Amino acid sequence: MNVESIMTRGVKTVAPDTGLREVVSLMCLYRLSGIPVVEGDRLVGIIAEKDILNSLLPNLEDLMHGMAAIDFDSRMDEYSNIIGGKVSDLMTTGVKSVSPDMHILKAASFMAGNHFRRIPVAEGDRLLGILSLGDVHKAIFHANLSVADE
């Protein structure tokens, strides 16, 4: 079974110049942990919740001075400044993707090895869809249900 047969098509995407406030709204409204960033249909990056939240987290220097000295409330106050920016400020570039003809277990292995729960599906740099570990699990479950019924 290949990725193309189980991937999600019609994926929500954003452009590099999209405001982060809009992206955060999409993430919260649709319960998305990450959104592919495209220019036309060309995949140029991904913006994830962790990209946004990492902006609030202590850096190595802060940690070296001790967690007790970190004012987490003031860090939370920085959130409105952070989401006042653009996707291009925080997005991850050089995004890894899987091809539509890849076997689903090979794709799942690649995802697990990179600690991804979902990954773009692309041909070259053209975005075709997205694949989640849940998609893979569901497909395997359904395939095994039909075998068990025989």
pLDDT band at 67 (very low <50, low <70, confident <90, very high): low
pLDDT in tens, 1-57: 999 999 999 999 999 999 999 999 999 999 999 999 999 989 999 999 999 998 887
The yes-or-no verdict on residue 68 having pLDDT over 80 is: no
| DSSP bridge pairs for 130 | 8, 120
Give the CATH number, domain containing residue 30. 3.10.580.10
Q: What is the pTM of this model?
A: 0.84
**Mean pLDDT for the chain?**
90
What is the tally of structural domains in the chain? 1
- In this prediction, residue 66 carries a pLDDT of 61
Write a three-state SS string for the chain: CEHHHCCECCCCCECCCCEHHHHHHHHHHHCCCEEEEEECCEEEEEEEHHHHHHCCCCCHHHHHCCHHHCCHHHHHHCHHHHCCCEHHHHCECCCCCECCCCEHHHHHHHHHHCCCCEEEEEECCEEEEEEEHHHHHHHHHHHHHHHHCC
Cβ-contact 104, 33 below 8 angstroms: no
What is the residue range of 45's domain? 3-148
Average pLDDT over residues 64-71: 62
